[in-house]
Amino acid sequence: MTTILVVDDSGMDRRLAGGLLEKQTDWTIIFAKDGRDALHQIELHVPDIVITDLQMPNLDGLELVEAIRNDYPLIPVILITAKGSEEIAVRALQKGAASYVPKRRMAADLVETVKLVRAASYENQAQKRLMLHRMQTTDCEFLLENDLKLVPSLIAYMQELSGIMGICNEADRLRIGVALEEALINAIYHGNLELSSELREKTARSYYNLAKERSELDPYKDRRVRFVATFTRNEAVFTVHDEGVGFDPGQIPNPTDPAFLDRPCGRGLLLMHTFMDEVRFNESGNAVTLVKRAVRGTGSLDSVESVES
Amino acid sequence: MITKAFRVDRSDEAVVIELATGVDSLSDTAVLDEFAEFVADLKHSPKTNVVFDFRNLPYFGSMVLETLRGVWNEIKDSGGKMALCNLSDVGSEVLQVARFDNIWSLHKTRDEALQAVSGS
C-alpha cells in the first residue's frame, strides 16, 4: 500500500489530484491544505510520497520541500507547477524535490510521474536505510591537485556522508561546507602555492594570476593536498594536509579586531573554528584536523528513524 | 551581463548582484575579467548602491567575503550603500562571525534590501 499526501490550498485542485490518484486501488490518498498542515499530517502518518502546490499560505511549497528534506529525507516530493511559479519550482528542485508536473498536465501526467518517482525512490530508500543506520564507520582519502574546481564536489560528498552517518542536520551540513572550503582553499593557495593574503589585499586578479602561474612551476606544481575523512556514528574527523612549508597559526591577527576588519587575513581560520567542534594543526602548520561531533535529537537522524518504523 | 558565477541586474535604486555558484568559479580568468570590468564601472560611477542576492548560494566563506569587500571598497567613498539579501541562516552566521553585519545590512528579501539602500 502506498500512501500519498496531496498538499494544496485550493479545495478544487485537491479534489482533482485526489480523484486522479484514487483510481489506483493500492494507493491511499491523504490531504493537507498548506505546508504547515502537511507537516502536521506527516507527523501523524508518514506518507510514501508528497505531492505539493508551490504557492500556499502559511508554509509554501519551497519551505515545505526544505522541511521535508531536513526532517524526512527519504520522502520524495513532487511539485505541481503553475504558470508564473517556474522560478520557485527550479529552486525547489535544487532543494531536493524529486519531480514536477505542470498543473495543466495533471490529468495526463500525474499518475505516471508518481509511479516513476515511487519506483526510483524504492531502491534509493532501501540503500539509504542500510547506510543510514547500519553503517558504523567509513573512511576515505583523496589526493588532490591544486585545482579549486575539485573543491565543491569533494565538499558535497563529505556533506552527504555526514548526513548519512547522522552527524548533522541541514544547518550543520552547511557549516561543515564552510569549514572544509576554508581548509581546502588554505591548503591549495597558502600551503601548496605559498600565496600570501597580502597579495589578495591588493587585487584579486594578481592573486589568482600568480596562483595559475605557480600551479605550473616547480616546486609548486607537484604538490598535492591529501584529504582524509573518518566517519563514525559519533563524529566526523577531516584532515587536510598540504605539502607547503607550513605556518604558525598563532601569528594570524584576529580578523574581528576593527583594526584588521579591512584586511583579508585570518578570516578562514576564524570560520573553521566557529563552525567545527575542534580544530587543530600539526606542529609544522601544514596539516589541519577538523572535528564535527554528532548532534542528536535535532537533525535528520531521529526523523529518518520514524520513517523506518 | 550573465556569467556562470554572477548575474547583474540594474535598477533605479541599485545594482543587484546575484551570486550563482561557489568558489570554484571565482578564480576563473573569464569571471575575474568580467568582475574586474564591473568593479571598474562602479569606480567611475558617481554614487552606486549595491545589493548582493544570495538566493543561490546557501553557504560561502572567506573568498566570497573578499569579493564583497572588494566591491564595498569601490563604492563607499562616493557615498554608495551596500545591502545583502536572501541569506541562509548559515550565510548570515558567516557574516556575523566576520563582523561584516556591522557594515552591511542583511535583509530577508531583495525588495527589503533595495528599500534599505535607496533610503526609503
Check B24 against A256: CB less than 8 A apart.
no
Nearest CA in chain A to B21: A152
CATH number at residue B50: 3.30.750.24
pLDDT at residue A143 tops 80: yes
A182 in contact with B at a CB cutoff of 8 Å?
Answer: yes
Share above pLDDT 90 across residues of chain A, in percent, rounded to a whole number: 47
Asked whether residue B49 is domain-assigned, the answer is: yes
- Asked if the model's pLDDT at residue A202 lies above 90, the reply is no
Does A149 contact B at CB distance below 8 Å?
yes
Q: Which among A177, A267, A275 is the nearest to B98, CB-wise?
A: A267
Q: Is residue B69 part of a domain?
A: yes
Whether the Cβ atoms of residue A31 and residue A14 lie closer than 8 Å to each other: yes
Per-range mean pLDDT, top range of A164-168, A305-309, B106-110 = B106-110
Assigned domain for B1 exists: no
The pLDDT of residue A31 is above 50: yes
SS (H, E, C) chain A: CEEEEEECCCHHHHHHHHHHHCCCCCEEEEEECCHHHHHHHHHHCCCCEEEEECCCCCCCHHHHHHHHHHHCCCCCEEEEECCCCHHHHHHHHHCCCCEEEEHHHHHHHHHHHHHHHHHHHHHHHHHHHHHHHHCCEEEEEEEECCCHHHHHHHHHHHHHHHHHCCCCCHHHHHHHHHHHHHHHHHHHHHHHCCCCHHHHHHCHHHHHHHHHHHCCCCCCCCCCEEEEEEEECCEEEEEEECCCCCCCHHHCCCCCCHHHCCCCCCHHHHHHHHHCCEEEECCCCCEEEEEEECCCCCCHHHHHHHHHC
What average pLDDT does the segment A83-107 reach? 82
ipTM of the predicted structure?
0.80
CATH 3.20.10.10 assigned to domain A137-293? The reply is no
Residue A306 has pLDDT above 70, yes or no: no
What average pLDDT does the segment A98-112 reach?
A: 89
**Out of A200, A256, A271, closest to residue B94 by CB:** A271
Domain that holds residue B39: 6-118
Instruction: Check residue B88 and report its DSSP letter.
Output: -
For residue range A221-280, list pLDDT tens digits in order: 999 999 999 999 999 999 999 999 988 877 776 666 666 656 666 788 889 999 999 999
Q: Which pLDDT belongs to residue A168?
A: 86
206-235 in chain A: CB under 8 A from chain B: 208, 211-212
Cβ within 8 Å, pair A264-B66: yes
- Taking CB atoms and an 8 Å cutoff, what residues of chain B touch A178? 59-61, 90, 94
Number of domains in chain B: 1
Residue keyed to cell 587585487:
A203
- The model's pLDDT over A119-132, given as tens digits with 9 standing for 90+, comes to 887 777 777 778 77
pLDDT averaged over every residue in chain A: 86
What's the CATH code, domain A2-132?
Answer: 3.40.50.2300
pLDDT tops 50 at residue B2: no
Average pLDDT over all residues of chain B? 83
In chain A, % of residues over pLDDT 70: 91
Which of B63, B69, B90 shows the shortest C-beta gap to A174? Answer: B90
Cα separation, B94 vs A263, in Å, equals 16
Chain-centre distance for alpha carbon A110: 28
Cβ contact, residue pair B32, A205, below 8 Å: yes
Cβ(A17)–Cβ(A50) below 8 Å = no
| Chain B residues with beta carbon closer than 8 angstroms to that of A148 | 23-24, 27
Instruction: Give me the pLDDT at residue B85, please.
Output: 96
**pLDDT of amino acid A303:** 42
Domain boundaries, chain A: 2-132, 137-293
- Check residues A297 and B109 and name the one with the higher pLDDT: B109
Give the residue with greater pLDDT, A128 vs A32. Answer: A32
Average pLDDT (B94-118) is 92
Tens digits of residue pLDDT in A43-68: 888 899 999 998 888 888 888 998 89
Q: pLDDT tens, B61-82?
A: 888 888 888 888 888 888 889 9
Q: What is the pLDDT of residue A129?
A: 74
Of the candidates B55, B66, B89, the beta carbon closest to that of A200 is on B66
More confident residue, A190 or A247: A190
The answer to whether A261 faces chain B, any CB pair under 8 Å, is: yes
pLDDT at A164 exceeding the cut of 80: yes
The beta-carbon neighbor of B62 closest among A211, A256, A264 is A264
Instruction: Tell me whether residues A174 and B29 touch, CB distance under 8 A.
Output: no
